[in-house]
Chains A and B, each alone.
Chain A
């Protein structure tokens, strides 16, 4: 009974700023692998100082999109601009100097110590051999393990070291590829703390994740990807409004099947019974008192009437089920 607007949106930067203010601007980007899809006509705009979270199933193109942003991969067609520069072409070095990347795997040199790994990054990013690696390590609580070989680090410690390496040069754009995957709660918390901290300091953050709960509390912009392209993009609230433009109220009753009477009542545009209750989509929230009165008049004993806040996870699953 529910009806929804088409979900192939034209993504814009969160907050509706013009593309000129975008740090990342991908337009119609295509990248095909020999055997796989990669990216197909990907549009993505990321506003300066915002947190963008890309969500999508494995193979959606999230990692490829991050690689296009740093210029590690050049688009086969379409255009990629980062800081107004061409990352996959002549401006690659300039772009990458301003990016900090944490890959899905920590990409650390296991035979070397944490300190060696940070020093190497400092040298490649032009900080010299005497960069303050201690401070970067202390920020993530691994300063006391700096002189141990990385091979002996736990997964959480490796991620923290990768994070310390990514922020060593104070990047303007932080790119994180599923950074909390496989982490204990403490390390996940550290990662999310960093993301908020970096954004508060004015950096732009783009991260991919499978954990929608993380995205919901963190993102200024959520980008849902599937098969190498953007399915939806916008702030969480925007997406909810676009997908579910009308309010939903959850009714509970002692005899739930009797709630089915709601389906034919005036103002009800969507009805879905689940277990001991029903989610009712209304054209206007002001209809609620009338509906309660009608149900009470029909002898239905209500146990709960609450506005239902949709979660990003629900939205994601609904979009995926299309």
Chain B
């Protein structure tokens, strides 16, 4: 039998098992849902409602003036006849973009950090080590189980965010305008590889450390620069001219592929058994 052969059903079984456990852990997912609601719905709604309702006051004029700092291409896209409408539009389209990156990364990092070290801590790594599942199937199963909660939460949050901004800002700028093309690129092309890059690092850490607490701590430190990088790149992708988003995504996918290939080697049977190797 070819040792490189991969059994997809086993990979999905690993992923499903992790997701099932997550589903039974409200103490874990409830705070994550609150985080997503905060970033995607509550903060944008409050800010946009405030801006569109308070009208042409000093604060809005100041924010509106700051829009002049945006690149010319971005400025040309901004709709609205008065500073309040233009500010609302700019906030909705450009300034809230980073949350689309921060939320999935935070959630997926929290899940991924526990993914492998959790098996060690609970002793279930012994079961996996004696199972026919290959290290690669286990790694990819864990990757999927870590990626999906963050990404799906983000997609749902994105849907709710779209609804909120269209309902609040849309009437002032000529109708529903969101998501823009650049946002589609961000959500479907840029965010997934940044998530994959982050998880490739987090899963490697999770495979190597001895406790979930250590994994969370180390992951937090390691992913912070990655979150900042993806924050900057996503914003650049949205603000940049032409195909900036596409190129940012392409670079991220390349880095993700490399990171995932390296990360797969971190899962070994001795490590699942809690033995350093």
Contact = CB atoms under 8 A, between A and B. Distances in A.
A165 B273 CA distance: 19
A105 interface: yes
A72 B129 contact: yes
B242 to A, nearest CB: 47
B225 interface: no
A109 to B, nearest CB: 6
A96 interface: yes
B130 A70 contact: yes
Contact of B24 (A108, A112, A125): A112
Given A67-B273, A93-B1, A103 B132 contact: no
A216 interface: no
B13 A120 contact: yes
Interface in B124-142: 124-127, 129-134
Contacts of A116: 17, 20
A93 B132 contact: yes
B1 A124 contact: no
A97 interface: yes
Interface in A94-112: 94, 96-97, 99, 101, 103, 105-112
Interface residues of A, number: 35
B123 A103 contact: yes
Contacts of B20: 112, 116
B34 interface: no
A72 B269 contact: yes
A91 B13 CA distance: 22
B243 interface: no
A289 interface: no
B10 A111 contact: no
Given A67-B273, A73-B275, A96-B132, A107 B124 contact: yes
A70 B128 CA distance: 11
A74 to B, nearest CB: 8
Contact of A109 (B3, B9, B21, B134): B21
A6 to B, nearest CB: 34
A90 B2 CA distance: 8
Contacts of A91: 1
A107 B127 contact: yes
Contacts of A72: 126, 129-130, 269-270, 272-273
B13 A73 contact: no
A107 B161 CA distance: 42
A124 B15 CA distance: 11
Contacts of A105: 123, 126
Given A34-B276, A90-B1, A93-B1, A107 B131 contact: no
A97 B7 CA distance: 13
Given A108-B124, A111-B21, A124 B129 contact: no
B270 A73 contact: yes
Contact of B10 (A70, A124, A165): A124
B182 to A, nearest CB: 41
Contacts of A96: 130-132
Nearest to B23: A111
A126 interface: yes
A147 interface: no
Contacts of A111: 21, 24-25
Contacts of B130: 67, 70, 72, 96, 99, 101, 103, 175
Interface in B1-42: 1, 3, 7, 9-10, 13-14, 16-17, 20-21, 24-25
Given A34-B276, A108-B124, A73 B133 contact: no
Nearest to B22: A111
Contacts of A9: none
A138 B123 CA distance: 25
B275 A94 contact: no
Nearest to B7: A126
Nearest to B125: A107
Contact of B133 (A94, A110, A124): A124
A121 B1 CA distance: 21
A123 interface: yes
Could you say which of B9, B20, B25, B127 has the most chain A C-beta atoms within 10 Å of its C-beta? B127
A72 B275 CA distance: 11
Nearest to A162: B127
A33 B273 CA distance: 12
Contacts of B10: 123-124, 126
B273 to A, nearest CB: 6
5 closest cross-chain pairs (CB), A and B: A123-B13, A72-B129, A101-B130, A107-B127, A103-B126
Given A90-B1, A93-B1, A103-B127, 17 more contacts: A33-B275, A67-B129, A73-B273, A90-B3, A105-B123, A106-B123, A107-B124, A108-B127, A110-B122, A120-B13, A120-B17, A123-B10, A123-B16, A124-B10, A124-B14, A125-B132, A165-B127
28 contacts: A33-B275, A67-B129, A67-B130, A72-B269, A72-B273, A73-B270, A90-B1, A90-B3, A91-B1, A93-B3, A93-B132, A96-B131, A101-B126, A103-B126, A106-B123, A107-B122, A107-B123, A107-B126, A109-B122, A111-B24, A116-B20, A120-B13, A121-B131, A123-B10, A123-B13, A123-B16, A124-B131, A165-B127
